[in-house]
Protein backbone atom coordinates (compact mmCIF):
# COMPACT_ATOMS: atom_id res chain seq x y z
CA UNK A 1 0.00 0.00 0.00
CA UNK A 2 2.33 2.74 1.23
CA UNK A 3 4.58 3.95 4.06
CA UNK A 4 1.63 5.82 5.59
CA UNK A 5 0.67 4.36 8.97
CA UNK A 6 -2.48 6.30 9.89
CA UNK A 7 -5.45 4.13 8.84
CA UNK A 8 -7.56 7.13 7.84
CA UNK A 9 -4.75 8.57 5.73
CA UNK A 10 -4.25 5.16 4.09
CA UNK A 11 -7.97 4.85 3.43
CA UNK A 12 -8.06 8.30 1.85
CA UNK A 13 -4.87 7.76 -0.15
CA UNK A 14 -6.18 4.48 -1.56
CA UNK A 15 -9.69 5.84 -2.09
CA UNK A 16 -11.01 3.00 0.05
CA UNK A 17 -14.77 2.52 -0.06
CA UNK A 18 -17.02 0.64 2.34
CA UNK A 19 -20.04 -1.35 1.18
CA UNK A 20 -23.28 -0.42 2.97
CA UNK A 21 -26.94 -1.23 2.36
CA UNK A 22 -27.27 2.09 0.53
CA UNK A 23 -24.13 1.79 -1.60
CA UNK A 24 -20.45 2.44 -1.15
CA UNK A 25 -19.20 5.21 1.15
CA UNK A 26 -15.82 6.79 1.82
CA UNK A 27 -14.10 6.60 5.22
CA UNK A 28 -15.28 10.07 6.26
CA UNK A 29 -18.88 9.09 5.50
CA UNK A 30 -18.71 6.31 8.08
CA UNK A 31 -19.22 8.92 10.79
CA UNK A 32 -22.72 9.55 9.41
CA UNK A 33 -23.75 5.92 9.95
CA UNK A 34 -25.24 4.53 13.13
CA UNK A 35 -23.19 2.34 15.44
CA UNK A 36 -25.45 -0.57 14.55
CA UNK A 37 -24.74 -0.13 10.83
CA UNK A 38 -21.01 0.22 11.46
CA UNK A 39 -21.06 -2.95 13.53
CA UNK A 40 -22.81 -4.90 10.75
CA UNK A 41 -20.22 -3.77 8.22
CA UNK A 42 -17.33 -4.60 10.57
CA UNK A 43 -18.74 -8.05 11.39
CA UNK A 44 -19.15 -8.78 7.67
CA UNK A 45 -15.56 -7.79 6.91
CA UNK A 46 -14.26 -9.71 9.92
CA UNK A 47 -16.16 -12.83 8.83
CA UNK A 48 -14.72 -12.52 5.33
CA UNK A 49 -11.21 -12.25 6.71
CA UNK A 50 -11.70 -15.36 8.83
CA UNK A 51 -12.97 -17.33 5.82
CA UNK A 52 -9.85 -16.37 3.87
CA UNK A 53 -7.62 -17.80 6.58
CA UNK A 54 -9.42 -21.10 7.27
CA UNK A 55 -7.01 -23.18 5.18
CA UNK A 56 -3.27 -23.01 5.10
CA UNK A 57 -3.17 -25.51 2.22
CA UNK A 58 -4.24 -22.91 -0.31
CA UNK A 59 -1.64 -20.46 1.00
CA UNK A 60 1.24 -22.43 2.60
CA UNK A 61 3.57 -19.40 2.68
CA UNK A 62 0.89 -17.40 4.48
CA UNK A 63 1.14 -14.65 1.89
CA UNK A 64 -1.26 -11.80 2.52
CA UNK A 65 -2.97 -10.62 -0.63
CA UNK A 66 -3.64 -6.98 -1.43
CA UNK A 67 -7.35 -7.70 -1.10
CA UNK A 68 -6.80 -9.07 2.40
CA UNK A 69 -4.67 -6.06 3.34
CA UNK A 70 -7.44 -3.81 2.07
CA UNK A 71 -10.05 -5.65 4.12
CA UNK A 72 -7.85 -5.48 7.21
CA UNK A 73 -7.47 -1.74 6.68
CA UNK A 74 -11.25 -1.41 6.29
CA UNK A 75 -11.71 -3.28 9.56
CA UNK A 76 -9.13 -1.10 11.32
CA UNK A 77 -10.84 2.09 10.10
CA UNK A 78 -14.24 0.77 11.16
CA UNK A 79 -12.97 -0.12 14.64
CA UNK A 80 -11.53 3.38 15.01
CA UNK A 81 -14.77 5.06 13.87
CA UNK A 82 -16.83 2.86 16.21
CA UNK A 83 -14.53 3.76 19.11
CA UNK A 84 -14.73 7.47 18.34
CA UNK A 85 -18.52 7.40 18.07
CA UNK A 86 -18.82 5.44 21.33
CA UNK A 87 -16.60 8.00 23.07
CA UNK A 88 -18.71 10.84 21.68
CA UNK A 89 -21.91 9.14 22.85
CA UNK A 90 -20.45 8.67 26.33
CA UNK A 91 -19.47 12.36 26.45
CA UNK A 92 -23.01 13.35 25.43
CA UNK A 93 -24.55 11.12 28.10
CA UNK A 94 -22.15 12.47 30.72
CA UNK A 95 -23.00 16.06 29.75
CA UNK A 96 -26.74 15.29 29.89
CA UNK A 97 -26.36 13.67 33.29
CA UNK A 98 -24.38 16.65 34.56
CA UNK A 99 -26.99 19.06 33.19
CA UNK A 100 -29.83 17.16 34.88
CA UNK A 101 -27.91 17.12 38.17
CA UNK A 102 -27.27 20.87 37.87
CA UNK A 103 -30.98 21.54 37.27
CA UNK A 104 -31.91 19.40 40.26
CA UNK A 105 -29.45 21.24 42.52
CA UNK A 106 -30.66 24.64 41.30
CA UNK A 107 -34.25 23.63 42.08
CA UNK A 108 -33.18 22.46 45.51
CA UNK A 109 -31.32 25.71 46.08
CA UNK A 110 -34.40 27.72 45.12
CA UNK A 111 -36.53 25.60 47.47
CA UNK A 112 -34.11 26.31 50.34
CA UNK A 113 -34.24 30.04 49.59
CA UNK A 114 -38.02 29.94 49.72
CA UNK A 115 -37.92 28.05 53.03
CA UNK A 116 -35.56 30.69 54.42
CA UNK A 117 -37.83 33.51 53.29
CA UNK A 118 -40.93 31.75 54.60
CA UNK A 119 -39.31 31.40 58.01
CA UNK A 120 -38.85 35.19 58.36
CA UNK A 121 -40.92 36.91 61.02
CA UNK A 122 -43.41 39.58 60.04
CA UNK A 123 -41.05 42.24 61.39
CA UNK A 124 -38.14 40.92 59.32
CA UNK A 125 -40.30 40.89 56.19
CA UNK A 126 -41.45 44.45 56.90
CA UNK A 127 -37.84 45.55 57.45
CA UNK A 128 -36.75 44.04 54.13
CA UNK A 129 -39.70 45.63 52.30
CA UNK A 130 -38.91 48.97 53.88
CA UNK A 131 -35.29 48.64 52.85
CA UNK A 132 -36.40 47.97 49.28
CA UNK A 133 -38.73 50.98 49.39
CA UNK A 134 -36.00 53.20 50.80
CA UNK A 135 -37.59 53.63 54.24
CA UNK A 136 -35.87 53.12 57.54
CA UNK A 137 -36.73 49.92 59.41
CA UNK A 138 -38.13 51.93 62.37
CA UNK A 139 -40.73 53.67 60.21
CA UNK A 140 -41.65 50.33 58.65
CA UNK A 141 -42.19 48.77 62.11
CA UNK A 142 -44.37 51.71 63.07
CA UNK A 143 -46.42 51.22 59.90
CA UNK A 144 -46.87 47.50 60.65
CA UNK A 145 -47.88 48.25 64.24
CA UNK A 146 -50.34 50.91 63.07
CA UNK A 147 -51.86 48.53 60.54
CA UNK A 148 -52.21 45.83 63.19
CA UNK A 149 -53.86 48.31 65.56
CA UNK A 150 -56.22 49.56 62.86
CA UNK A 151 -57.25 46.03 62.00
CA UNK A 152 -58.22 45.36 65.62
Q: Which of 68, 75, 88 is nearest to 11 (CA)?
A: 75
Query: For residue 137, is pLDDT > 60?
Result: no
pLDDT of 59 reads 59
pLDDT of 146 reads 63
Q: Is the whole model's pTM more than 0.95, yes or no? A: no
d(Cα 152, Cα 147) in Å, to the nearest integer?
9
C-alpha angle 68-73-74 in degrees, rounded to nearest 5? 95
Amino acid sequence: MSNITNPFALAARNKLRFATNSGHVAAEDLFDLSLKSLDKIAVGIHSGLQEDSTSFLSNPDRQVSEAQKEQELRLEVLKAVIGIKQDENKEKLDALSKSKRREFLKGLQEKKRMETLESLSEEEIAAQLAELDGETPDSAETAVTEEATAAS
